[in-house]
Amino acid sequence: MSKRGVEQSAGSRASGMGALEAAVDLAIAEVRAARERASEAEKRAEQSAAMLRQFVEGEEDPGTLSRRVQVLEAENRDLRRRIERGRAGIDRIAASIRFLENRQ
């Protein structure tokens, strides 16, 4: 093999190693992401199973759950109204600032 052939072979090995390292890094990242997703799915499954046990075993009365939902929905409506009032206040303040900036 000529000197030039050896140099080309070494260069192609180096680029091949770089590609291999990149592929391995990608595979490792994908495995980590899959493990995280699996862990989150297991947590959600455990939470769902616990909630189902509570409901089936009668720990949570359907009437009580219904009342809790109604209370939470009322709280959500109140929070939405408060957010809208806050946004309106921010809009007024921003308009005042723009007015003052334009006067100068």
Q: Can you tell me whether residue 31 is helix, strand or coil?
A: helix
Please tell me the predicted confidence (pLDDT) of residue 10.
62
CB 54 within 8 A of CB 60: yes
Please tell me the predicted confidence (pLDDT) of residue 1.
52
- Same-domain status, 67 and 25: no
Q: Report the predicted TM-score, pTM, of the whole model to 2 decimal places.
A: 0.41
Please tell me the predicted confidence (pLDDT) of residue 37.
93
Structure tokens, 49: 């199973």
Q: Across the 104 residues of the chain, what is the mean pLDDT of every consecutive 10-residue run?
A: 56 78 92 94 91 77 86 96 94 91 83
Please tell me the predicted confidence (pLDDT) of residue 28.
94
Domains identified in the chain, total number: 2
Segments forming the whole domain that contains residue 20: 1-59
Please tell me the predicted confidence (pLDDT) of residue 58.
72
- Same-domain status, 3 and 52: yes
